[in-house]
Amino acid sequence: MSYESEYRQSIEQPEAFWQQQADQLDWFQAPTQIMSKDENGIDRWFADGVMNTCHMALDYHLEAGRGDQVAIYYDSPVTGSRAAISYRDLKDQVAIFAGGLKALGVTKGDRVLIYMPMIPQAVVAMLACARLGAIHSVVFGGFAAHELAVRIDDAQPKVLLSASCGIEIDRVIEYKPLVDKAIELAEHKPEACVIFQRPETEAQMQAGRDVDWDQLMTQSAPVDCTPVSATDPLYVLYTSGTTGRPKGVVRDNGGHAVAMKYSMKAIYDMDAGDVFWAASDVGWVVGHSYIVYGPLLAGLSTVLYEGKPVRTPDAGAFWRVVSDYNVKALFSAPTAFRAIKKEDPESKCLLQYDLSSLKTVFMAGERLDPPTYHWVKSVLDVPVVDHWWQTETGWAICGNLMGVDPKPAKAGSSTLPSPGFNVQILDDDGNPVGPNVQGNVAIKLPLPPSCLPTIWGNFPRFRDGYLSTFDGYYVSGDGGYIDEDGYVFIMGRTDDVINVAGHRLSTGEIEEVVADHRDVAECAVIGIHCELRGQVPIGLVLLKDGVTTDSDDLEAQLIASVREGVGAVACFRRTLVVSRLPKTRSGKILRKLLRQIADGQDYTVPSTIDDPSSLPEIAEAMAKAEIGAAAKVA
């Protein structure tokens, strides 16, 4: 099958195309209604299908004779431990843990918040929720208590699942105090917290609320899968928008399972029994889709890696894992490879390992910059595929169909639209533009299976944020162009979302914390270019009249506040005190202009600017402070 005919069928006959893909899964009741409208007028997939994602990911494989195959290779250089968990063992653990959750009162539709490090129990937790038809919401371990509290209040979980700690290289990060503080800050109080005690540190338990994970496992009886409708949510995953309030992206059970199964073969060229490694974290969408659900739905072995690309213990960490588990496809973020390249530019660490199992490297999370693309290609000598996607879609909007019809790569491009995604470039008035003209990257409706049908508890936010800008289109928030061969180039966000080491953050979230400081009158947080992390946030602050705080002290205080309020993962490490911020006459801060100045790019002074003389002043202050184009990699 050629890419062109596969893609054409998906766009011209979407229902026939996706029905064929749905037939590859083991439904309790196969869908007959392939695409229909819901009460909000949104296209929904497989509405009358009845299923359970955990059944499709685990029980089905046992029935198909795959019980002894490894489902999860857990590899943890930070604790020096490894485990190989078979499909049978995983199913048994999940069924018992689901029994434990049921005993705590969790039933279909209840939310369960998961705040866990990269340990097998995190996967057990997710699948146990799916087994009960409960909706999980995983929060990345690098987020601080306040961010956790915001998510607790939005998702209103009945139960919260966590562990005593995470481990960052050689530092033990205690999770339980963060959980306790988040619950204290939140208005909504979960009825119970189940805590997995790790040997590295013991969490203090609160009587009457906290439950020991192991004890719950020994006390509980396994339960079967609860049938759910294909349009029932499997999970809510919070992602950064342009404001300080994260958005709960809702993922359907049915469309998600179908897209995961389809993409594992079509995009990643993986067959049952192959080993797949997404070097990400279960707290991000990549972790949901390609550490947990995609590989398990397709009967693969997935690698769960609790470590970093460097310093655990060295820049050969990725190559060791590939070689130890015969990884066929590796998926990570460009920033991880930039970190390896920085420490081992001549890739000497690679020489110790046999990488013959590795067939393809996939990258996402941020644009794969051409220098990194060329470096990875030269050291590994396998196809390197950039593919573009978002938490909202759950799988690649653009990529290279390695399992259907691989196309030659073009550095800087995420290749061609995936089947089901009708990608268009629109100008600001919503008109399609020609080849090589930059504009807003939009997707013509209907969206294919797995894409969000709403924002949790807030349909107007979904409609207004994504569907109202251009009639009949989903607007991605990314800018880019399509070349004369149809290759898509994603060039970056058009809004105030930033991407720090492949982690999506909102400048608004950070701004709220900075603006809260007693000395700060006004501030703008912008994402500036960083050689290692792609982007990092910096804060430009205007002090209140009469404030005499030393700027170094202020910087230290603001850095500490952002770590406390958002999390270390924000990598907020620089601030600059300025006397004016460039604004439009209506008072809107011109953040894009600030970004361009910081990155040393040419810029046009907009006619709407109130006081253009603030610009050279800011450029000079940035240069003096070695911020932006003049900054060093830290």
Q: Is 462 in the site for ligand AMP (CB under 6 A)?
A: no
Of 323, 352, 318, the C-alpha closest to 335 is: 318
Closest distance of CB 77 from ligand AMP, Å = 25
In sequence order, the β-bridge partners of residue 177 are none
Say how far apart CA 598 and CA 616 lie, in whole Å.
Answer: 11
574 binds, among ligand AMP, ligand COA, none (CB under 5 to 8 A by kind): none
400 residue type, one letter: N
Contacts to ligand AMP from residues 524-543, by CB under 6 A: none
Q: Tell me 58's DSSP state.
A: I
Return the number of the residue (161 or 339) whose C-beta is nearest ligand COA: 339
- Which residues contact residue 50 at a Cβ distance below 8 angstroms, ignoring those fewer than 6 apart? 27, 28, 29, 227, 228, 229, 230
Residues making up the chain, counted from first to last: 634
285 binds, among ligand AMP, ligand COA, none (CB under 5 to 8 A by kind): ligand AMP
Closest distance of CB 4 from ligand COA, Å = 29
Q: At what angle do helices 3-12 and 14-22 cross, to 10 degrees?
A: 110
Q: Is 238 in the site for ligand AMP (CB under 6 A)?
A: no
Q: Which tokens sit at 336?
A: 């991880």
565 binds, among ligand COA, ligand AMP, none (CB under 5 to 8 A by kind): none
Compute how many other C-beta atoms are within 10 angstroms of the C-beta atom of residue 127.
26
628 binds, among ligand COA, ligand AMP, none (CB under 5 to 8 A by kind): none
Contacts to ligand AMP from residues 413-442, by CB under 6 A: 414
Say how far apart CA 302 and CA 430 lie, in whole Å.
Answer: 42
329-332/384-386 β-pairing: unpaired
Say how far apart CA 605 and CA 505 lie, in whole Å.
Answer: 27
Closest distance of CB 539 from ligand COA, Å = 16
Closest distance of CB 570 from ligand COA, Å = 8
Options 21, 76, 499, 507; binder of ligand AMP; rule CB under 6 A: 499
Q: Which tokens sit at 396?
A: 């690649």
Q: In which region does residue 101 sit, left (phi positive, over 0), alpha (psi from -120 to 50) or beta (all else)?
A: alpha
Say how far apart CA 284 and CA 264 lie, in whole Å.
Answer: 18
What Cα–Cα distance (Å) separates residue 316 from each residue in 129, 171, 343, 502, 532?
Answer: 36, 21, 10, 20, 17
Options 270, 330, 490, 543; binder of ligand AMP; rule CB under 6 A: 490
Return the number of the residue (34 or 163) whose C-beta is nearest ligand COA: 163
Determine the size of the site formed for ligand AMP (CB under 6 A). 20
Closest distance of CB 623 from ligand AMP, Å = 28
Closest distance of CB 282 from ligand AMP, Å = 13
Return the number of the residue (298 or 488) whose C-beta is nearest ligand AMP: 488
Of 53, 157, 20, 17, the C-alpha closest to 101 is: 157
Backbone angles phi, psi at 554, to 5 degrees: -60, -45
Compute how many other C-beta atoms are within 10 angstroms of the C-beta atom of residue 449.
29
Contacts to ligand AMP from residues 126-145, by CB under 6 A: none
515 binds, among ligand COA, ligand AMP, none (CB under 5 to 8 A by kind): none
Return the number of the residue (349 or 597) whose C-beta is nearest ligand COA: 349
Return the number of the residue (333 or 528) whose C-beta is nearest ligand COA: 333
387 binds, among ligand AMP, ligand COA, none (CB under 5 to 8 A by kind): ligand AMP
How is the chain split among helix, strand and coil, in percent rounded to 5? 35, 25, 40
241 binds, among ligand COA, ligand AMP, none (CB under 5 to 8 A by kind): none
Closest distance of CB 321 from ligand AMP, Å = 22
Return the number of the residue (21 or 240) whose C-beta is nearest ligand COA: 240
Say how far apart CA 255 and CA 18 lie, in whole Å.
Answer: 9
361 binds, among ligand AMP, ligand COA, none (CB under 5 to 8 A by kind): none
Q: Which tokens sit at 294?
A: 């995609």
Say how far apart CA 332 and CA 73 lie, in whole Å.
Answer: 17
Q: Which tokens sit at 283?
A: 């707290």
User: Strand, helix or coil at 305?
Assistant: strand
Return the number of the residue (152 or 228) whose C-beta is nearest ligand COA: 152
Return the number of the residue (173 or 621) whose C-beta is nearest ligand COA: 173
Closest distance of CB 396 from ligand AMP, Å = 8
Return the number of the residue (264 or 498) whose C-beta is nearest ligand AMP: 498
> ∠ at Cα 418 (417, 424), nearest 5°?
30
35 binds, among ligand COA, ligand AMP, none (CB under 5 to 8 A by kind): none
478 binds, among ligand AMP, ligand COA, none (CB under 5 to 8 A by kind): ligand AMP
Closest distance of CB 363 from ligand COA, Å = 8
280 binds, among ligand COA, ligand AMP, none (CB under 5 to 8 A by kind): ligand COA
What Cα–Cα distance (Å) separates residue 630 from each residue in 75, 139, 599, 624?
Answer: 39, 35, 8, 9
467 residue type, one letter: L
Return the number of the residue (194 or 310) whose C-beta is nearest ligand COA: 310
Burial class of 9 by CB neighbour count within 10 A (0 to 12, 13 to 18, 19+): middle
Select from 59-67, 263-271, 475-483, 589-597 the region that touches ligand AMP (CB under 6 A): 475-483
Q: Is 477 in the site for ligand AMP (CB under 6 A)?
A: yes
Backbone angles phi, psi at 624, to 5 degrees: -65, -40
Q: At what angle do helices 507-515 and 551-565 cross, to 10 degrees?
A: 120
Q: Which tokens sit at 374?
A: 């060329």
Binding site for ligand COA (CB under 6 A): 141-142, 166, 168, 173, 279-280, 284, 286, 308-310, 332-333, 335-336, 339, 364-365, 501-503, 568-569, 571
Contacts to ligand AMP from residues 248-307, by CB under 6 A: 285
Biggest alpha carbon–alpha carbon distance for the chain: 74
Contacts to ligand AMP from residues 337-396, by CB under 6 A: 364-367, 386-391
* Residues in contact with ligand AMP by the rule CB under 6 A: 239, 285, 364-367, 386-391, 414, 476-478, 490, 493, 499, 504
